[in-house]
Amino acid sequence: MATATAPDTIAAIATALGPAGIGVVRVSGPGALAVARRIISDGSAGGLPDRVATLVLLRDPHDGSFFDQALVTYMAAPRSYTAEDVVEISCHGGIAAVRATLAAALAAGARLAEPGEFTLRAFLNGRIDLIQAEAVADMVAAPTDLSLKAAREQLGGRLSGEVAAARAQCLKLLARLEAGIDFSEDDVPPVDRRQAAVDLSAVRSRLDHLLDQADRGRLLRTGVRLAIVGSPNVGKSSLLNALLRSDRAIVTDVPGTTRDTLEEQLDLEGIPVVVVDTAGVRGTTDAIESEGIARSRRALAEADVALLIFDAGRELNDADRAVAAMVREYGVPVLAVLNKSDLPEKTGDGDLTALGIDGPAVPTCALNDAGVAPLRTALLELIGGGDIRANELPLVTNERHQEALRAAAAHLEGSATAVADDLPADFIAIGLHGAVRVLGEVAGEDATEDLLANIFERFCIGK
């Protein structure tokens, strides 16, 4: 991966390719303004004022032919996204126009940016820290409003502030310890161990508070995978359509209509959910249906949660019992659903208890949105989404951050043990050094080149 300290100028398409009102090509680096002037008409080349959109004609640097009209905005360093000179060219949307604009910028002296290189330069130039850089990617990929809000708060620096404060607390205690070690023969008194224990506990409490939110935070970022399982004709596909509020799956009265898994994205009150509709499970000699059932098993094995659907309007049969046994086999958390609750009840909670299903089932009717509302509420509670809606958004959503905070807490635990065991100050300092290093990796102060490469290679080219 190229570094932002290289004295070159990069360019990339910053918007999605496809029919659109506009497309944006971003150019960043010391030669950004020169590149822009080489591809705009002579009549507008005289002035590209800072932070002002200028209407120009774009021309091919090779033969001077005009190919588009665009708005060009020049942002002089350091008041730009990358803290370098940046030019953004807003040309007409569409694949051909945007690619032609990028080709002109490359012909004028820029090179194609690598994935995430604009954000990498923003980080290396001190514009943002590593937590905020990762938040940029999370904002682009956010599947729901809550996911977007959580990423926006990280970009705003809330988590960065907490991590910086914890690291500063560690450094302050470490400085006192090392002063006592280095100047033990002078008049510097040793660190008060009771105060050291209090200070370590304070930092640990700060980290524990962040870690307590981490599982809920990861839910916002990665969501959950939900498998809808049941015997044929219990209404699995109807429930999928009702949850999605669209006719996505084919619904008929013929058992075994669904022969394959069908995967869709669901926004459940701000929680991203991947819903997988599966083939009905029953004994069959049909080769295609058998393959569908095998895929149902795979979907269940990969699921975080299963909706186990029963038809409340008929008595349990052998196929229902087989599905219940299959779900128990995989050990996935289960929410039992008594579908078709508008019909006279022939299967209830008592019947499901005999199948080894704990807790009440959710009565549901897929005919209208009101009939699915209890299922939405129960599902939200099962996956922990209700806590997110009711409380402050969690700060920690990234698994890398979570692992680093756990490692820092473990290092601090080592220091606390050294204090409790009355070990020399050198031993107390070991854990603090580890915590400082790990917390520095979170925000980027101590980030390695390999870590940066691993993070930024996941970005899109234009970021």
- How far apart (Å, rounded) are the C-alpha atoms in residues 347 and 387? 32
Q: Both 195 and 294 in a single domain? A: no
172 in the same domain as 231 = no
Pair of tokens at residue 133: 């850089």
Last residue of a domain, one of 93, 126, 159: 126
The token pair at 273 is: 């959910």
325 and 371 share one domain: yes
**In a domain? residue 326:** yes
Domain for residue 284, yes or no? Answer: yes
The domain in which residue 88 lies consists of 10-126
Question: What distance in Å separates the CA atoms of residue 383 and residue 223, rounded to the nearest whole number?
Answer: 9
- Tokens at residue 282, please? 């029953």
The CATH number of residue 372's host domain is: 3.40.50.300
Assigned domain for 23 exists: yes
Residue 234 main-chain phi, psi, to 5 deg: -90, -5
| CA neighbor of 30 nearest in space, from 86, 88, 114 | 86
- Phi and psi at 296, nearest 5°, equal -60, -40
For residue range 152-191, list pLDDT tens digits in order.
999 999 999 999 999 999 999 998 888 766 555 555 567 7
- Beta-strand pair 362-363/334-339: parallel
Please state, in angstroms and rounded to a whole number, the distance separating the CA atoms of residues 393 and 159: 11
Name 244's Cβ contacts closer than 8 Å, sequence gap at least 6: 264, 266, 275
Rounded to whole angstroms, the Cα distance separating 446 from 411 reads: 16
369 and 256 part of one domain = yes
- Whether residue 118 lies inside any domain: the answer is yes
Asked whether residue 212 is domain-assigned, the answer is no
pLDDT tens readout for residues 68-121: 999 999 999 999 999 999 999 999 998 999 999 999 999 999 999 999 999 999
From residue 26, alpha-carbon distances to 141, 290, 390 in Å are 20, 52, 40
- Contact of 360 with 383, CB cutoff 8 Å: no
Q: Tell me the range of 82-91, 266-275, 309-318 where mean pLDDT is highest.
A: 82-91
For residue 50, give the DSSP letter: B
CATH number of the domain encompassing residue 19: 3.30.1360.120
384 occurs within a structural domain: yes
pLDDT in tens, 406-447: 999 999 999 999 999 989 888 999 999 999 999 999 999 888
Preceding omega of 189 cis (within 30 degrees of 0): no
Global pTM value: 0.81
- Shared domain for 109 and 188, answered yes or no, is no
Residues 73 and 121 reside in one and the same domain: yes
**What sign results for the dihedral spanned by CA atoms 133, 139, 142, 148?**
positive
| Residues 112, 147 within the same domain | no
Q: Could you tell me the CATH number of the domain that includes residue 197?
A: 1.20.120.430
Q: Into how many domains does the chain fold? A: 3
In a domain, 5, yes or no: no
pLDDT in tens, 54-73: 999 999 998 889 999 999 99
